[in-house]
């Protein structure tokens, strides 16, 4: 049995950078506390937990002597200020792609223009971006919500980094009905999610079974399984190698592997090793478990 990895999988640039920044702070001997879980992966959070990283849900929980970490989603300027006042050090791991959206929103607000952000109003990234233009920004999910907007002044339309391109462009088009001014549309979607889906789709045509490694509540991992199932019915979402059932791999010649954007490399490596072990056992090598 051959184990084939998708061309793009696992940690995206922003998550990898955030984890690296936390590890650097640990190396410097800091007491590290992240505002919200650093990433949506239980196993990686446990690993960081064993190194002393803890999570807080509110800036008031941070104390002098501690290092506060802002995760890749970013926060509002108020929250950042509060962390800076309370903590001894703040590590800002906001993904640069998110920082760009925050800056665009802040600049448009400074010019007294309206900002339409296409995304989920409850998502931490969206709450953070709106904080940069609190009096000027509206968060809407899609074009069906454009009708509820007031008349707009020189609107700027930007997006949550992880939404679908079609949703963004359809909404941007609908926004034109709400203004007599020119609409500035800046696509701020990050390609990490789409790249992983495209790579999984391409590989799903070539395999008999597919394993997506990711948290059970990770939306990008769940979406990856859906993509794999388009061409490969035997597609499974697993969190660890212990969830692989060897019986599912009997008669399988090629097995695909991909992972969500919050899945660390060490976890992916364990799954690949377990699959290779099962492959050898299924081919009759009795020296294997
Ligand atoms: S998905 Fe994109 S925007 Fe979000 S953290 Fe990863 S690289 Fe940054």
Ligand 1 pocket: which of 190, 191, 218 to mutate (most atoms <8 Å of CB)? 190
Query: What is the C-alpha separation between 133 and 156, in angstroms, rounded?
Result: 12
Look at the domain 13-94 and name its fold.
Answer: Rossmann fold (3.40.50)
Active site residue 125: yes
How does residue 285 score in pLDDT terms, banded at 50, 70 and 90? low
Does the structure show a pLDDT above 60 at 287?
no
Q: Comparing 170 with 223, which gets the higher pLDDT?
A: 170
Query: What are φ and ψ of residue 34, in 5° steps?
Result: -100, 140
Does the structure show a pLDDT above 80 at 219?
no
* Percent of all residues in the chain with a pLDDT value above 70, rounded to a whole number: 98
What residue ranges of the chain are covered by domains with CATH 3.40.1010.20? Answer: 2-10+192-282, 97-185
Q: What is the pLDDT of residues 119-162, one digit of tens each?
A: 999 999 999 999 999 999 999 999 999 999 999 999 999 999 98
Q: What is the pLDDT of residue 87?
A: 97
How does residue 289 score in pLDDT terms, banded at 50, 70 and 90? very low
What residue ranges of the chain are covered by domains with CATH 3.40.50.11270? Answer: 13-94
Ligand 1 pocket: which of 18, 119, 192, 196 to mutate (most atoms <8 Å of CB)? 192
Query: What is the C-alpha separation between 64 and 67, in angstroms, rounded?
Result: 8
The CATH number given to 97-185 is 3.40.1010.20
Q: What is the pLDDT of residue 103?
A: 98
- Letter string b/e over residues 231-265, b meaning 16 or more CB atoms within 10 A of that residue's CB: bbebbbbbbebeebeeeebeebeebbbbbbbbbbe
- Domain 2-10+192-282 in CATH 3.40.1010.20? The answer is yes
How far, CA to CA in Å, does 75 sit from each of 102, 115, 133? 10, 18, 13
Tell me which residues have their CB closer than 6 angstroms to ligand 1.
12-15, 72, 95, 97-98, 161-162, 190, 192, 261
Q: What is the pLDDT of residue 218?
A: 81
The single residue of 8, 66, 82, 125 carrying the catalytic annotation is 125
Query: What is the C-alpha separation between 153 and 244, in angstroms, rounded?
Result: 55
């Amino acid at each position: 049995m051959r184990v084939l990895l998708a061309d793009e999988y696992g940690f995206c640039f922003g998550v990898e950078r955030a984890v690296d920044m936390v590890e650097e702070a640990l190396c410097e001997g800091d007491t590290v506390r992240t505002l919200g879980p650093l990433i949506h992966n239980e196993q990686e959070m446990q690993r960081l937990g064993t190194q002393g990283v803890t999570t807080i849900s509110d800036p008031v929980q941070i104390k002098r002597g501690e290092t506060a970490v802002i995760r890749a989603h970013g926060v509002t300027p108020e929250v950042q200020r509060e962390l800076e006042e309370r903590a001894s050090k703040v590590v800002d791991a906001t993904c640069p792609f998110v920082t760009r959206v925050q800056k665009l929103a802040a600049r448009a607000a400074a010019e007294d223009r309206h900002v339409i952000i296409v995304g989920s109003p409850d998502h931490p990234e969206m709450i953070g971006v709106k904080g940069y233009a609190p009096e000027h920004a509206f968060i809407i999910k899609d074009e069906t919500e454009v009708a509820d907007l007031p008349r707009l002044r020189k609107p700027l339309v930007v997006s949550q980094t992880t939404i679908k391109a079609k949703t963004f462009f359809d909404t941007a088009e609908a926004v034109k009905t709400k203004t007599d001014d020119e609409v500035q549309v800046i696509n701020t979607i990050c390609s990490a999610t789409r790249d992983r889906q495209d790579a999984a789709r391409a590989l799903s045509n070539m395999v008999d079974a597919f394993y997506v490694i990711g948290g059970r509540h990770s939306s990008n991992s769940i979406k990856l399984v859906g993509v794999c199932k388009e061409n490969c019915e035997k597609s499974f979402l697993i969190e660890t190698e212990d969830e692989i059932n060897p019986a599912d791999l009997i008669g399988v010649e090629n097995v695909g592997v991909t992972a969500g954007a919050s899945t660390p490399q060490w976890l992916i490596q364990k799954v690949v090793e377990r699959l290779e072990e099962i492959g050898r056992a299924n081919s009759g090598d009795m020296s294997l478990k």
